[in-house]
Amino acid sequence: MITIRKATNDDAQACWDIRNAAINKGCSGFYDAGDLFIWTEGELTEQFSRIVAAHFYVAEQFSVNTQLKTVVGSIMLDEPYAQLEALFVAPDAMGIGIGKALLQFIETMAFNQGIAQLRLESTLNAVDFYRHCGFGGEGLEEDSIYCSPRGIALECMVMYKNLERRK
């Protein structure tokens, strides 16, 4: 069973670890290994922890075997820019609908806040996932370069989705 909730400072390490594992697994073969190393190196920072506590939502998976909930995904909505950020799913939980559930959660939240269109910058490996979820479309995608604060430049795809009330 998956639940989605507002993240707390206590979730920062799990979000950091999931981010790095998802980047290393999902982006391998799409980006240079040296760039992936730079992108994911280092320890959890206080700045990342503050962002998680202030803006992230997490997906938790309940294990019947252990009777514990484990954080398995994260997402963030940058409201002023109507931009989706930080959608990451733990590699061992990929492919079971967690990313889609997080995305639907944020889309509903954004729509309820009066946001009519979401924007995101997709890594190349995730473009098909976002297209499957309704992002992009004719004339709505554009190539871009993500310039990391760590000094690397990565190709990405800017994608959009018009939001509608869920039935």
Domain CATH code at residue 6: 3.40.630.30
Q: Is 153 domain-assigned?
A: no
* Number of domains observed in the structure of the chain: 1
Asked, for residue 93, whether it belongs to a domain, the answer is yes
Q: Is residue 154, in this structure, part of any structural domain at all? A: no
Q: In angstroms, what is the C-alpha Rg of the chain? A: 16
> Does residue 80 lie within any of the structural domains?
yes
SS3 category, 52: helix
* 95 Rama class: left (phi>0) / alpha (psi -120 to 50) / beta: left
For residue 140, is it within any domain?
A: no
Range of the domain at 23: 2-115
> Using CA atoms, how far apart are residues 167 and 3, in angstroms rounded to an integer?
20
In a domain, 9, yes or no: yes
88-126 residue pLDDT tens: 999 999 999 999 999 999 999 999 999 999 999 999 999
Q: What is the pLDDT of residues 55-73, one digit of tens each?
A: 999 999 988 788 889 999 9
